[in-house]
Amino acid sequence: MSTFSLRMQIADNAYFTPHGAELFSREQAEQARNFHQRMPDYRPTPLHSLTAFAAELGVGQVLVKDESQRFGLNAFKILGGAYAIARCVCEKYHFSLEDFSFEQGRAALPESITFATTTDGNHGRGVAGRPKR
């Protein structure tokens, strides 16, 4: 039988301030979740319990997020990119984020818009759009 050991060093973040930023409020998180839930093919991320691993660590539970089915990109990063783009479009054209969808936005936009990102990884692929199936 193998043994597992884990050394951890916990330190305070000297840059942390307890004052919350408006962008990271509960209200903003709920707004983002509501937006994502309106996206076609959105599903909550499934969690898988690693019971044997948790027992080996001596903890009650270990859960792993399974992003392998997320919009064909296998990553959660499409959600952040899509939400940021939606917010930018809604702000520029005075659309309501609560009612916004990319399909309606494409039809209503008076001009073509280009968004760029400096990565071709999961975030970049998320900004580029959902792959065709």
pLDDT in tens, the chain (133 residues): 566 666 777 778 777 776 767 777 888 889 999 999 998 888 888 899 999 999 999 999 999 988 887 777 777 778 888 898 999 999 999 999 998 988 888 888 888 888 888 877 777 777 776 544 4
Residue 49 domain-assigned? yes
pLDDT at 8: 72
The answer as to whether 37 is a domain residue is: no
Would you state the pLDDT for residue 106?
85
Q: Is residue 33 part of a domain?
A: no
In one-letter notation, the amino acid at residue 124 is G
Q: Given this model, what pLDDT does residue 52 score?
A: 95
Q: Is 77 a catalytic residue?
A: yes
Q: Identify the active-site residue in 65, 77, 92, 132.
A: 77
Q: The domain containing residue 104 runs over which residues?
A: 44-128
Q: 54 lies in a domain?
A: yes
Long-range contacts of 56-61 (CB under 8 A, 24+ apart): 56/4, 57/4, 57/6
- Number of structural domains (the chain) is 1
Q: Are 94 and 105 in contact (CB under 8 A)?
A: no
Q: Which of 12, 99, 120, 132 is catalytic?
A: 120
